[in-house]
Each structure stands twice: as structure tokens, then as C-alpha cells.
Amino acid sequence: MSERQPSAIPATEPPTSNEAELARKRRAKLAVRFAGLLLVLVSLAFVVQRLSQHLGVFSDHFEEVSLSLMVGGLLVFTSSQLLLSTAWYLLLRWQGVRSVRAIDCHVLCGRAQISKYIPGNVFQYVARHLAFRRLGVSDGSLMLAVAYETLSFVIAAGLLVALGLPFFASEASVISPRLAALVGLVAILVLVAMVRFGRPLLRLVGRAPPDGADLRVTQVLSVVPLYAIFLSLSGCLALALHRSAGGEATLGLAVIPAYSLAWLCGYVVPGASGGFGIREATLLVLLGDNPQGLFVSIGMRLITTSGDVLWFALSSLVDQLLRPKA
């Protein structure tokens, strides 16, 4: 009787290069989604902590707060963030990015903005970068857009601060007109240099964006009014709070450039989550260490922080509504 030969076990074929590439992309997408979710959860935890602190101080010092003024300010600030996401959309589109819709920018920028409350003052850029990378936007295009955005914001804030230079020069020694003019000039020169040499510099480090439309300096400068309107609306809210608290009429519209300068200080100082502490201290120096200045500082922090939370919630809701059904 012949021995039974064992049946041959078919060898498992190694995965093809395409399958390995797909598996790698799936793992990368999962890692990006996990990182984005972690950023959101950490951001919300810090937001809750900040809000609890501000509400306590606010109620201790000001018992008679106009609810309609605060709610109106919240709605105005939340709506004004559409200006920021619109500018971001334009900065990407002018670089040749056609795969991103305007609604995508509104939703993703709204969801990423909440991450600025993580200590470091940079995680909103990380969250936004991750979100737009998932849509296929190159690292180079996103890096250039952040540079253009930052410089345009500085120019816009500088223009508004310039409106208050006569007041600051005569009433306070915390700002020099020549220094403000120099900062604005440097920002414009750096912006021009970035538009001209940004792509070649990124190409040297292997991060060049794909070839797209030739970006012109005038296109980048055309988003400056969007940032200026955003800061002006916030400044008007600060002015309304100052007037409602019985602030000096002599300050007048100087409150708007004062808030713009405070916002700029919080924007450029590294490590200040959402400009926390920096903007409040700057406002107190410019408006005076008095109950009215404190009212504006705490009131604007409460409005802006609550507005960021509301903007995040609305963006998340729209994202769920627009997401295709499985």
C-alpha cells in the first residue's frame, strides 16, 4: 500500500505593490484622523477651563451685564470668521488648488480654529494642515498659504493700529509711530519676497507645491481687506463694551486700533494659547488699568472664546450634514 502524499499547500502570494500602497495610505489616513480627533478633544478641554475662569472673574466684577450686547457680540464675532475662511480659500485657489470647495474651507477652518487654545498657539495650523492634506492639498501649497495669511494679517492689523497712532503717541508711551510704520513696511516687503521666492525656496527642501497659477502680489494683498474687516468688527465690539461700561468718550474710535494692536500681540507671541493673557494685558495698558478696560478685556475674551466654540459646533454640524451617507 503506497504512502499517501501530503497535499501541497499553496504558497501565499506576497501582496502586490499596489495593495501595499493602499494599505499604507489607509494607515496614514487613520493616523491623521486620530491626530485630528486628539487635537479637538484636547482643545475642548482647554476651552472649558478658560471659559470657567473668565465667567468667574466676569461675574465678580460686573453684575449688570447687558445680555443682548453679549449675545449680539457673540453672533457678530462668530459670523465674522467666515471672512477668515474665505481668505484661506482664495489663497489656496490662487495657487492653483481646484479640488477644495469654499464650503470645505469654511467647515475645516472652523473645526481647526478651536485648536488654538492648546498651549503653544500653533496647533490650529497643525489641525488645519492635517485636514487639508486629507483633501489632497500639497504641503507646499499649505505652507505658502500660512505664510501669506500671517503676513496679510500683520499688514491689516498694522493699518488699523496706524489709525490710532495720533492718540497713542500723545497719551501713551507703549507704541512708537516709527516702530509701527517699520513693522508694516517689513511685513509688506516679506510678503513680496514670499510671493516671488516662496516656491523656489520650498523646491530646495523638497516641499514645492505643484505647478499652478502664477500668484501675484496684488492677489495676496487683496485679502488684506478681509482681515481688516474681521479685526474692525472685533474692534467695534470692544468699543461697544467700553461705551456700555461708561468709558471715557475722549478715547472714541481709538478703542478699535487699541484692540487691533492687542490682537496682533496675542497673534505673534508664541506659546500664548489663543493669545490668552497677552491681549488682555495689552488692552489694559492701552485703555488704562480701570474697570472699563477690565470690562473690555474680559468681555472680549468671553465673546471670542464662546464664538470659537460656537463656530466649531456649527462647522461640525455642517460637516455631518454634508458628509455622504454610507
Predicted confidence (pLDDT) per residue in 176-192, tens digit: 556 666 666 777 787 77
In a domain, 44, yes or no: no
228, 184, 220: which is closest to 84 by C-alpha?
228
In a domain, 58, yes or no: no
Cell numbers placing 297: 478685556
The answer to whether 259 and 238 have CB atoms below 8 angstroms apart is yes
What is the pLDDT confidence band of residue 232, given thresholds at 50, 70 and 90?
Answer: very high
Kindly tell me if the per-residue pLDDT of 216 is higher than 90: no
Quickly count: other Cβ atoms within 10 Å of residue 184's Cβ.
18
Mean pLDDT confidence for 284-295 = 76
Cell numbers placing 210: 505643484
Kindly tell me if the per-residue pLDDT of 63 is higher than 70: no
Kindly tell me if the per-residue pLDDT of 307 is higher than 70: yes
Q: Report the pLDDT value the prediction gives residue 88, as an integer from 0 to 100.
A: 95
The SS3 call for residue 95 is coil
pTM of the prediction? 0.76
Domain that holds residue 306: 134-320
- Which residues share a beta bridge with 271? 120
Which are the contacts of 145, defined by CB distance < 8 A and separation ≥ 6?
88, 91, 92, 95
Kindly tell me if the per-residue pLDDT of 115 is higher than 80: yes
Q: Report the pLDDT value the prediction gives residue 22, as an integer from 0 to 100.
A: 72
Report how far residue 144's alpha carbon sits from residue 38's, in angstroms, rounded to the nearest whole number. Answer: 26
36, 212, 227: which is closest to 141 by C-alpha?
212
Higher pLDDT, 31 or 297: 297
Report how far residue 197's alpha carbon sits from residue 206's, in angstroms, rounded to the nearest whole number. Answer: 14
- Which residues share a beta bridge with 59? none
In a domain, 253, yes or no: yes
The answer to whether 302 and 54 have CB atoms below 8 angstroms apart is yes
150, 143, 133: which is closest to 209 by C-alpha?
143
Kindly tell me if the per-residue pLDDT of 16 is higher than 50: yes
Give me the count of residues in the chain: 326
In a domain, 305, yes or no: yes
Highest mean pLDDT among 31-45, 46-60, 166-180, 189-203: 189-203
In a domain, 45, yes or no: no
Higher pLDDT, 10 or 121: 121
Number of domains in the chain: 1
What is the pLDDT confidence band of residue 237, given thresholds at 50, 70 and 90?
Answer: very high
- Which residues share a beta bridge with 185? none
Q: Report the pLDDT value the prediction gives residue 204, as an integer from 0 to 100.
A: 64
What is the pLDDT confidence band of residue 173, given thresholds at 50, 70 and 90?
Answer: very low
Model pLDDT for residues 68-80, shown as the tens digit of each residue: 888 899 999 999 9
Out of 37-46, 230-239, 257-266, 283-292, least confident range: 37-46
Out of 37-46, 248-257, 308-317, least confident range: 37-46
Instruction: Return the axis-axis angle of helices 291-322 and 255-268, rounded to nearest 10°.
Output: 60
Report how far residue 176's alpha carbon sits from residue 165's, in angstroms, rounded to the nearest whole number. Answer: 8
Whole-number percent of the chain with pLDDT over 70: 67
Higher pLDDT, 233 or 189: 233
In a domain, 224, yes or no: yes
Q: Which residues of 73-109 are buried (b: 16+ CB within 10 A; e: fewer)?
A: bbebbbebbbbbbbbbbbbbbbbebeebeeebbbbbb
What is the pLDDT confidence band of residue 60, given thresholds at 50, 70 and 90?
Answer: low
The answer to whether 174 and 286 have CB atoms below 8 angstroms apart is yes
Q: Report the pLDDT value the prediction gives residue 324, as an integer from 0 to 100.
A: 67
In a domain, 150, yes or no: yes
In a domain, 230, yes or no: yes
127, 147, 269, 275: which is closest to 207 by C-alpha?
147
Cell numbers placing 180: 509701527
Mean pLDDT confidence for 297-324 = 88
Kindly tell me if the per-residue pLDDT of 266 is higher than 50: yes
